[in-house]
Structures are given as structure tokens and as C-alpha cells.
Amino acid sequence: MSNQFSRRSVLGKIGATLAGLIAAPAAKAAKTVVQKEFVTSGAPKGYDPTQHKWRMAIDANRCIGCGLCAEACKTENHVPAGPYFRTWIERYIITKPKAGSGEARGEVFVDCPDGGMHGFPEPPVPKEEIQHSFFVPKLCNLCEHSPCTQVCPVGATFDAPDGAVLIDPTYCIGCGFCIQACPYGCRFLSPITKTAEKCTLCYHRITRGLKPACVEVCPTQARIFGDLKHPVPDDPLQQFYQNNLVLALKPHLGTEPRVFYAGIDKEVR
């Protein structure tokens, strides 16, 4: 019993704790260095991801469903033709309730023909029967606790320090686990590269001081993009946060999406 707290054991424990404390940040730093050096992220040399915090926000009140963003994304990022999208637009149509039905709302129609790339057809119900109709642009939600990153067996997908969630295409084994784990349907397995793909916030553009392609072409500023660490005068992102009550998608899953939405309804999932 007298040996329980011997000098040797206490010193040993202190030493081990210190070694752990020293080793942990060193390991973290080493990981960042390795990521910076070896990851094919599309960023130019000298770009420091720790100096930025990129964010996108969506003001659904402004979206007119023109589909330019989805089309620009396909072109800019060479997204394969067919049912593969890094960003898309959903149209929600909520009809009025039938008279005397005792309901607050009628039916909900959701569609997204060809990712909304070429606009939308006439609504499936006459205009006078519609209670609400709105468009919702969708993209990677850049989750704080991204389930896709968590489940990747080789660590090919990772959270960049600047807020982007990226995939190393030279490392991805194409198992598809991340695609199953994403609650928002934002990922797909490219039929060309056979690796997982998703929205990167146009990493090759934003790291060179440009805006993502979808933000660039949006005619109504429904997509708002900015850097939380370097706000510009009259920063649209700061104004968006200031002026809107926001929602995130599927908050009950605990993924903490960093893409905030203004002007969406409870029907949006």
C-alpha cells in the first residue's frame, strides 16, 4: 500500500502526461503539414488554409430557379453528365387545402428536373391552387461534424482548416461509404474517376481570390459567399447573418451544417 504513490510512479505519470501533451499538438501540426503538402486540393502554392474561414449562405427568398448555378457548376467542375450534381435546385409547391378539409395545407410537390439546370416546367397544379411556391438551392452543407469525413476508411475526405470539406481523388478507394453517410445526398460516385465527388466550394477558385462558380453566375444574389476571417466592407455574408433568422437542414442529426438557409419551409429536407 505504501508503494501506491511512490515517487517513481508519480514521476512516471507526470512524465507520461507531459509527453502526451507535447506529442498531441505536434502530431496535429504534422498532419496539417502533410495535408498541405500532399493533398491535391487545387489550391495554389502558398495558400494558407488556416488564414480563412469560407462560408456559403442561401437566401431562398431570392432564388428564381433559373438553374444557372447548377449549370455553371457542372461546367466549371467537369461534373459527369447524368444524375450527378454538386449543386442543384429543388422546387417546392405547397397547395391550398381543399375547402372544408380541416387542413392547414394541401399537398406538397417537390421536383428537380435535371438538377434544375434548365429551369422548371409549368407547375403540376393550377396557379390559383398554390399556397406557397419556392426554390431551394442545395449544395454540400459543409457540416461541422461531417458524417462523410467520419466514415471514410482511409481519410481521403477531410475537413480543411478553412471550412471546406474536401476529397483527395488520388487517395479515395471508391467504397461509397461517405455517399451512404451523407444525409443530404450531396455526394456521388463519379462514373469517370470511380471516386466520390462533391461540392468543394470551387476550391480551385476561392483559393485564388475568386468566388465559387455558382455564386458568380447567380443573377439575384441568392447564394452568398464570404470569408469570416476577412470580412470586406458591407460584407454580404455578415449582412445576411445580421438580417435573417436562419435554418439548417436536418438539424436533428447533429451534423451542424455550416450552410445556413433563410426563407425555407419545414417541408425542406
Partner 1 sequence: MTNLVTTGVLEAMTNIVVEVMPRPEGYVYPNEATVQPLWGILIVLYPYITGLVAGAFIMASLVRVFNVRALEPVYRLSLLTAFAFLLCAPLPLLFHLGHPERCYEVMMTPHLTSPMAIFGFVYAWYLMAVLLLELWFDYRHDFVNWADITPGFKGMLYRLFIVGVTDTSEPAVALDHRIGHILSIVGIPSAFLLHGYVGFIFGSVKANPWWGNVLMPIIFIMSAMVSGIALCVFNYLVLSWIRRRTVDMKCIDMMGKFLFYALVMDATIEGLDWIHRIYSAEEGFRIMQYMAREKLFYTLSLGQVAFGTLVPLILLGLLQLIRKRVPELQRRRMYFTSSLLILIGVLAMRWNVVIGGQLFSKSLRGLMGYKMEFTGLEGWFMGAVLLCLPFIVLTVFVKLFLSERLPTSGFVPHREPGEPALEAGEV
Query: Taking the complex as a whole, how short is the minimal distance between the CB of residue 5 and partner 1, in angstroms?
Result: 34
Q: Which is nearer to partner 1, 47 or 84 (CB)?
A: 84
Per-residue x/- mask for partner 1, residues 197 to 216, rule CB under 8 A? Answer: --------------------
Q: Which of 54, 85, 134, 261 binds partner 1 (CB under 8 A)?
A: 85
Q: Is 26 helix (H, G, I), strand (E, B) or coil?
A: helix
Scanning 125-246, the segments in alpha helix (DSSP H) are: 147-151, 177-181, 203-206, 213-217, 236-243
d(CA 209, CA 168): 22
**187 belongs to the binding site for partner 1 (CB under 8 A):** yes
Q: Which of 153, 209, 233, 266 binds partner 1 (CB under 8 A)?
A: 153
d(CA 178, CA 44): 27
**83 belongs to the binding site for partner 1 (CB under 8 A):** yes
Query: Taking the complex as a whole, how short is the minimal distance between the CB of residue 120 and partner 1, in angstroms?
Result: 13
Q: Which of 36, 107, 161, 181 binds partner 1 (CB under 8 A)?
A: 181
β partners of residue 104 = none
β partners of residue 110 = 92
Cα distance from N-terminal residue to C-terminal residue, the chain: 61
Q: Which is nearer to partner 1, 145 or 229 (CB)?
A: 145
- Grid cell digits, residue 8: 517513481
Q: How far is CA 233 from CA 107, 171, 265, in A?
A: 44, 40, 31
Q: Which of 39, 166, 182, 217 binds partner 1 (CB under 8 A)?
A: 182
Candidate ranges 14-22, 37-45, 183-191, 205-213; the one touching partner 1 (CB under 8 A): 183-191
Q: Which is nearer to partner 1, 10 or 110 (CB)?
A: 110
β partners of residue 159 = 165
Q: Report 224-263 residues binding partner 1 (CB under 8 A).
A: 252-254
β partners of residue 224 = 57
Q: What is the largest CA-CA distance in the chain?
A: 87
Query: Taking the complex as a whole, how short is the minimal distance between the CB of residue 153 and partner 1, in angstroms?
Result: 4
**130 belongs to the binding site for partner 1 (CB under 8 A):** no
- Exposed, middle or buried, 70 (CB in 10 Å: 0-12/13-18/19+)? buried
**184 belongs to the binding site for partner 1 (CB under 8 A):** yes
**21 belongs to the binding site for partner 1 (CB under 8 A):** no
Interaction site with partner 1 (CB under 8 A): 82-85, 88, 90, 110-112, 114-115, 138, 147, 150-155, 171-177, 179-189, 193-195, 252-254, 269
